[in-house]
Amino acid sequence: MESPVFAIANQKGGVGKTTSAVNLSAGLAANGIDTLLIDLDPQANATSGLGLEKEEGTSAYGPLMGEGTLSEKIVESGREHLFAIRSERDLVATEVELPRDEDYLFRLKGLIDAVREEYGFGAIILDCPPSSTVLSLNALAAADYLVVALQCEYLAMEGLGEILSMQKQIKEGGVNSNLEVAGILMTMFDIRTNLSNQVVSEVRSHFGDQVFSSVIPRNIRLTEAPSFGQTIFEYEKSSSGALAYEKLAQEFISRFGLKPSKGE
């Protein structure tokens, strides 16, 4: 598949979704895979997590409203093989403005399809806003795969049913019949508690192979890195967080057959 599109989502905020979008993208890029990270969250945490400026007119808002192309918004991240489309507050307006048009659910898909034709990205990763916003629905309509970031807590499991039910509705309702669940990514795993182990084993017993074998630990370095505009690999490569995201990148490469760019 040319440029597979992965939407990283959860109905709930604070589950390590953006941390995973940034560091998975960086991990794939470090393995020579040309990766495009699209920040669709108006809070722009993925943008600042890469150390990129939030500037007016740099987000997907204009193209979504029919002004220009998504390709024009692509910037280099300052890291080899990693490119980004930044976010800023104007994306909030899409919630009100986009639904006025009949085809509003498919706006992002059309824009991303054009990017796929123009560029040979090895992977495109969408950092979705929490909750079922117009932008989240657009992301799921445009994606090939849904990656669910799930915190290792019992309350977080309630959100899992919601996002999987949304994926089913989008797939079976004709919005995006190609949308598959790439997998469930367990995040914020605390090695010191029985609870984390219980949640992981319960999710694995229900979903089996759909749960990634890589588990992301609760790690202070992961929470510190974004404030320096750095990925975990730049901030502390030997940390447990960096090792976990490197393992996840390898798992993606092997599970989805991702290929390094030519010349690597």
Q: Indicate whether 154 belongs to any domain.
A: yes
From 54-68, 148-162, 177-191, 192-206, the region with the lowest mean pLDDT:
148-162
Question: How many domains are there within the chain?
Answer: 1
Q: Indicate whether 251 belongs to any domain.
A: yes
| Confidence bin at 130 (pLDDT 50/70/90) | confident
For residue 183, the domain's CATH number is 3.40.50.300
Q: Indicate whether 264 belongs to any domain.
A: no
pLDDT tens per residue, range 26-57: 999 999 999 999 999 999 999 999 999 998 99
Residues 6+ apart with CB under 8 A from 137: 105, 170, 175
| Confidence bin at 14 (pLDDT 50/70/90) | low
Q: Indicate whether 57 belongs to any domain.
A: yes
Q: Indicate whether 263 belongs to any domain.
A: no
pLDDT tens per residue, range 184-216: 999 999 888 888 989 899 899 989 999 999 999
Q: Indicate whether 261 belongs to any domain.
A: no
Phi, then psi, of 218 in degrees rounded to 5: -75, 115
| Confidence bin at 18 (pLDDT 50/70/90) | very high
pTM: 0.94
Q: Which domain holds residue 89?
A: 5-256
Q: Indicate whether 51 belongs to any domain.
A: yes
